[in-house]
Structure 1
């Protein structure tokens, strides 16, 4: 099975360089890597690798950048694996993906086990991420666990099941919950599976992300939009909105140094005011 790795990036060329170097260590190398970025200023000056690396430029926003890569990949590869530029896969990651899809023809999506996730903290350095992988205990092969969706920092998808499905470009810029929207729709084609034996570390780098107000708006507007679209369960989306709203409200008095809680809360409240008036527009963050 031919595997392409897609890296959608914004403002972090040094992380793309580090990820490409990590991919060289895979026991099963990718057949190709596609880097999708708004322009050449977002990618490293050199991408020389033992596997083919191509760059696609001209679109901004995670869903749009992933879509342009899909258009280039679908007819040429059996598996497309999406890695965030700050995700470090274990050296056996792609070999595990290939073997699992080969054994399980009804699997549509595989998402790996994130050993540490800096997205929920101040973030991790590359050295910390590599150390976490080195210290991880070996894991025995285990059956896949059915999931509602894949986790966007690391998810592999059987291209034969994608068809005309694309990431929703109304979820602009950071595209929060675009992974949930896209992969949950693939459950009608096959299983969406979490596999503990396929592992990595998500550094959760804070650069290249949207402002606190914009992200706070997306925390409310995007789940409500997906409820209307019918791609996420009502309980899942409302629980997500409530959790983030309460966290931003509670921590706005003593915010963490790495989170703009007050900005997020302002964005939450602005989105709620829009939703109450019947205005559900994820792309409104472009006007903020």
Structure 2
């Protein structure tokens, strides 16, 4: 099988360089890595090592950047793997992934198990992420578990390329995206299973640099799920509880916010989006107006 890794990046060229160097440790090397960024400023120098590294430049935004890379990759590869630029895979990740796709022809999407997710905390630095993986390697064996999911977690997800066809990430989910991964991969369930595989391990650093503001993100926490329910790609039974949990967390924690999360900004964004939804205005791209106002 031919396998490509796509990394969409923004404002993290040092982290990107570390990840590209680290991927040379994979027991099964990628046949190519495609880095997608708005422009060269976000990439730096991508030196060729044990595998080819290509760069594509275009519009800013996670969905647009992934789509641009897909356009370059689809005709040439059997498996498309998306890694966030702050995801560190275990050294056997791509080898086990290839074996999984070869052995299970009914699997359309495979995501790995995030051993530790810095997105749920203050985040992890590179050294801390490596330490977590070092502890993981000491485990004698890991029980293989396969769990079906509505969609995949975008920090590490792989797709059988022949099923993608004309499907692309929804560019109305602008900038950071949020739930763009679930939207995209849930549509692939008509071709096969969307599963999580416990033996594919990695650490998501959850770096805070390069992310959108609290108010913009809070707006997306409400507007994006409602939009995807109306679109018909994400079931209400998944999206509404997720939205409710986020609003509740922002409401409660805005009283004593964590230093690494703009809870009050998120809550303002939640309330603004709820007001829009009540008026029948469902526009994920409205966060661009918030961004423009913040820039003034």
TM-score by length of 1: 0.98
Q: Which runs of 5+ in 2 are unaligned?
A: 291-296
Could you say what secondary structure the match of 1:24 adopts?
helix
Shift >3 Å, 4+ stretches: 138-141
Which residue matches 2:224? 222
* Paired residues for 1:260-279 under 5 Å: 260-279=262-281
Question: In angstroms, what is the RMSD of aligned CA positions?
Answer: 0.8
Deviations along 1:9-36, one digit per CA (max 9) or x if unpaired, are 0000011101101100000000000000
Is this contact kept in 2: 1:29–1:94, CA < 8 A?
yes
Is this contact kept in 1: 2:146–2:196, CA < 8 A?
yes
Which residue matches 1:31? 31
Shift of 1:142: 1.9
Q: Which runs of 5+ in 1 are unaligned?
A: none
* Paired residues for 1:1-288 under 5 Å: 1-136=1-136, 137-140=139-142, 142-288=144-290
Shift of 1:193: 0.8
Shift of 1:143: 4.4
Could you say what secondary structure the match of 2:46 adopts?
coil
Q: 1:138 to 1:84 in 2, by over 3 A?
A: farther
Is this contact kept in 2: 1:139–1:197, CA < 8 A?
no
Paired positions, count = 288
CA distance in 1, matches of 2:49, 2:97: 21
Could you say what secondary structure the match of 1:100 adopts?
helix
Mean CA deviation greater in 38-47 or 181-190: 38-47
CA distance in 2, matches of 1:3, 1:71: 15
Deviations along 1:102-125, one digit per CA (max 9) or x if unpaired, are 000110000001000000000001
CA distance in 2, matches of 1:179, 1:138: 32
Shift of 1:139: 3.4
Shift of 1:169: 0.3
